[in-house]
Homo-oligomer: A and B are copies of this chain.
Amino acid sequence: MIKAGILGATGAVGQRFVQLLADHPWFEITALAASERSAGKKYGEVAKWRLDTDLPENVRDITVVSTKPKEVDADIVFSALPAEDAITIEKDFAKAGFVVSSNASSHRMEKDIPLLIPEVNPEHLALIDVQKKKRKWDGCIVTNPNCSTIMMVLTLKPLMKFGIENIHVATMQAVSGAGYEGVSSMAIMDNVIPYIGGEEHKMETETQKLLGTFDGKIVKDAPFWVSAACHRVPVMDGHTMSVWMRSKKNPTPEQVKNAFLKFDPKLGDLPTSPKKAIIVREEPDRPQPRMDRNQGRGMSVSVGRIRAGADNAVQYVCMGHNTVRGAAGASILNAEVLKKKGYL
């Protein structure tokens, strides 16, 4: 078993890491790190557990440590740190020799740090060598994208062959994306909030890095623009996205659907990879977050309503579980690929 630590273990994404790693066949939770306030106490006491499965028994009595490399006994650390903490702490861990699989946004856009979706751009992992060499680190940092970006980009990957020219996307995002205390009930009940700070910029820029070309040294941005409009809706889990895709080859909706159906990322049989990365729904009113978010144990993205838009665009809707595929599950899948490729 590979020894795994979790940084920011008490928060919403941290708890999801604990839940998903509790029975993981490759990783064993050996360290739970959180703020000084929690350090020294048992996890079961400091983590106000909010998932609808019980706190795993074997985790309850682990003593929380602080987020310092010397306190953490692990080979890999999963980071659920807030961005403002991750910016220094993750580097400290990489310098100290840890593999850091991060869900934080802090390092995603750094030129020598891979922003990874295993089904989309596994070749970008080679940036790790660039990174280690340049920074003289024993360890490394690998990041996963923003929760909205990841759902959309998974569906864009099989459409790259059509010569994407531009993307318009409107999101309808779940409250869990903001963390447990992130959205008050008075703010969102019977309401839509047409603003999520920084989210549109992340979708627009991360997509270009993810679908960009790695030339052995750097990743060149994908040659199309994305224009995003992000909204919060009264949904617990599951981000829904309405996409317009315009491309050089003007595929029919049927051709786009077939591209989704035939998409095979050839990941092999990893513990966290879903049987199907993309599930195509035929019903006129799907995907829906409440119905489809748990597909593939939360790791599949569902698409539907593939139809012809104006001006040769193809429109469709995609949806995935934002705290599984869009956060903790993404980091774990990244780690599994790291292991498989020998980086761990």
CA distance A126 to B83 in the complex (A): 58
Q: Which residues of B contact A285 (CB under 8 A)?
A: 193-195
Contact A235 B192 (CB under 8 A): yes
A14 within 8 A of B: no
Contact A236 B172 (CB under 8 A): no
* A294 nearest CB across to chain B (Å): 6
* A177 nearest CB across to chain B (Å): 10
Considering the complex, which residues of chain A in the window 283-304 have a beta carbon less than 8 Å from any beta carbon of chain B?
A: 284-294, 304
CA distance A225 to B225 in the complex (A): 21
Total A residues in contact with B, Cβ cutoff 8 Å: 60
Contact A291 B191 (CB under 8 A): yes
- B184, B190, B194, B236: the one within 8 Å of A242 (CB): B194
* A311 nearest CB across to chain B (Å): 6
A270 within 8 A of B: no
**SS class of chain A's interface: helix, strand, loop or mixed?**
mixed
A142 within 8 A of B: no
Q: Which residues of B contact A180 (CB under 8 A)?
A: 184, 186-187
The number of times this chain is found in the oligomer is 4
Given the interface contacts A52-B294, A294-B52, does A194 sit within 8 Å of B236 by beta carbon? no
A204 within 8 A of B: yes
* A213 nearest CB across to chain B (Å): 21
B-binding residues in A (CB < 8 A): 12, 50, 52-53, 166, 168, 170, 172, 175-176, 180-195, 204, 225-227, 229, 231, 233-236, 238, 240, 242, 244, 284-294, 304-305, 309-311, 313, 315, 317, 319
Q: Which residues of B contact A287 (CB under 8 A)?
A: 194
Contact B191 A235 (CB under 8 A): yes
Contact A284 B195 (CB under 8 A): yes
Contact A194 B305 (CB under 8 A): yes
CA distance A170 to B228 in the complex (A): 11
Q: Which residues of B contact A317 (CB under 8 A)?
A: 194, 229
